[in-house]
Structure 1
Amino acid sequence: MTGKIEARLAELGVTLPEAPAPAANYVPYVQVGDLLFVSGQISQFPEGMIKGKLGFDMDVTEGAMAARRCGMSLLAQARAACGGDLDRIVRVVKLTGFVNSTPDFGDQPKVVNGCSDFFVEVLGDAGRHSRSAVSASSLPFGVAVEIEAIFQVR
């Protein structure tokens, strides 16, 4: 039987990727009590990474799409941590978004909205969260966006 969150993803036409493997010496998630800390997920499509620098070779719309892809990977990690049951997610508690951007680019919040809007679209009010959206002069592999999350789970 498909859970409510999986059904909502299907309704939206969203297929989550497999939970990406860590790229270095860390684990993809850690659960402490009812909090699930998911390591930063980079912007990527199944065929490869979404690279670029906001304010140079990417615009806000492209950046928000990259952030949405980070949100999909974050949910994929949460699904793996929850034994395949996304309905164990109670709410998204916090996001921290890093945007690869030029020194004069100031729309990091609009970029990270791609992930925030995705979570609200999928989870409703449980997707609303606290958040930071900051600039980075570079990100791993030259990706455009990296986002980490804290979920409350049951």
Structure 2
Amino acid sequence: MLEPIPLSERRRDLWLIAGFLVFASTSVFVDRLAALDVDFCGQRSLFGALCWYGRNLDPLFLANPQWLRVMSGISAWVFGPLYLLFAWAFWRGVDAVRWPTIAWAVAILYSMVVHLWMEFFGPAPAPHPGLLTLIYLPYVLLPMLALARLRGERPFSRVRA
């Protein structure tokens, strides 16, 4: 018979939970707007920080080509809610979240290959590629950590003694 492993014995999961919650926030506050092609630098814009970011660090973000709007839409309306589900499931120790999280991690890693390739070799290359790499690094590390964490068949359960 299986029993859940309490969160107090899975302290490292708190890092994944925090990462999922941060990603949920960026999905709502940035990706949703990018998917809708909001002009971050428009007159009287409330998005001054995002305009500065695009002008100084990430010109592709401001160019916002159609493929990036599609990826941002997937992040906003598919992954955004999933991040909340993943955070809850990791908090509660729900083994059933394993395969959906693995599917998400593979999808994110694939999309990051495309995104970073275009950031560095596309028509609007980043002026500071090292800094941009650091900014996007969590979007590579979190899925890799999730894949490592979920390598066991029942990551949140153990055989009852």
How high is the TM-score relative to the length of structure 2? Answer: 0.30
Structure with the higher helix share, 1 or 2: 2
Structure showing greater Rg? 2
Structure with the higher strand share, 1 or 2: 1
How high is the TM-score relative to the length of structure 1? Answer: 0.31
